[in-house]
Amino acid sequence: MAQHETLILTASCASRLGSVDAVTGYLREQGCYVVDMQTFDDARAGHFFIRTEFRRPEQGEFDETNFRDGFALRAADFDMDWELTERKRKPNVVIMVSKFDHCLNDLLYRYRTGQLAIEIPAIISNHPDLQRLADWHHIPFYHLPVNADTKEEQEEQIWQIVQESNADLVVLARYMQVLSPELCNRLAGWAINIHHSLLPGFKGAQPYHQAYAKGVKLVGATAHYINNELDEGPIITQGIQTVDHSHYPEDLVAKGKDIECLTLAKAIQYHIEKRVFMYQSKTVVLGS
C-alpha cells in the first residue's frame, strides 16, 4: 500500500506508564499496521510525545468515525491531546510575500513538482512585483498595499482571505511587514516565518553587509512560528553554512537566500507531516 494512503496519529500527554501502549495497543486491536513511529519523553517537563503512521486494516472496512470514538475513550484515560490526519490530504497554504522572490520561487517549484504536498489557494503581497509569477502558476494573487494609516484595514483583508481560503497554514515567505499583535494571536501556532540567522544578531538594514564588516564565519536561517515577539517565536528548523574572508556581501546574501529556501521548505514539510508539537514556549519535532 502506498505511503500516502496511510493515516497519522499524533498525541501528547503527561509522562505516564502505558502511554505508548495506549496508542500502539489500540492500533493493534483495530488491525492497523504501524509503518513509522517516533516518540520523545521530556524528562524535565514530564511530558510525552508520539507520532505514528499506520495503514488501515487489510481485512474489512475502516470506519474512521468509530476509530476516533474508540481512541477518544483510550486517550481520555491519559488526558491526551491527539489528532488524526490522512496522509494523502493536501493542506491549504496561504503564502505572504513582499518583493524578495527566492523563497516564493522555491516553494512554487516544490508545489509544482509535488515535493511539497500542499495546495496554494492564495498569495498575498504588499507589493505588485510578483503578480506575474503567481499568474504563471494560476494562483490567485492579492495585492494589499499597506502603510501606518491603513495597516488595520489591510490586516483585516488578509484575515478574510485566509478564512475564505480555508487555510491550514500561513507562510511568511519574506513578508517584510511586522504583523500586529491581533493578527499574530489569530495565527499563533499555524503561521511560519523565515528570516536570516546571523551571530551576533545584526539588526536593521543590510544585515549581511553588517556581517561582512565584522568578518562573520557562519550564515544561516531560522524558520519559526510567529508570535508577538519579533522573530522570536518557537523554532521549527534552522540551517547554517560556513563562510570566510573571501565571501563578499553579495556572496553572503546569495548563500543566505539558499539557506532560507531550504530551511523554510523543511519547516513546512515537518508541519504538514504532523511532526511538530507545540509545548510551552518551544517545539518538539519528531522524525526530523
Residues catalogued as catalytic: 231
Cis peptide upstream of residue 200 (ω within 30 degrees of 0): yes
Count of CB atoms situated within 10 Å of the CB of 133: 16
CA atoms within 13 A on the CB side of 68: 11
Listed residue (129, 139, 140, 141) closest to 102, CA to CA: 129
CA atoms in the 13 A half-sphere facing the CB of 161: 23
What residue type is assigned to position 26 of the chain? Y
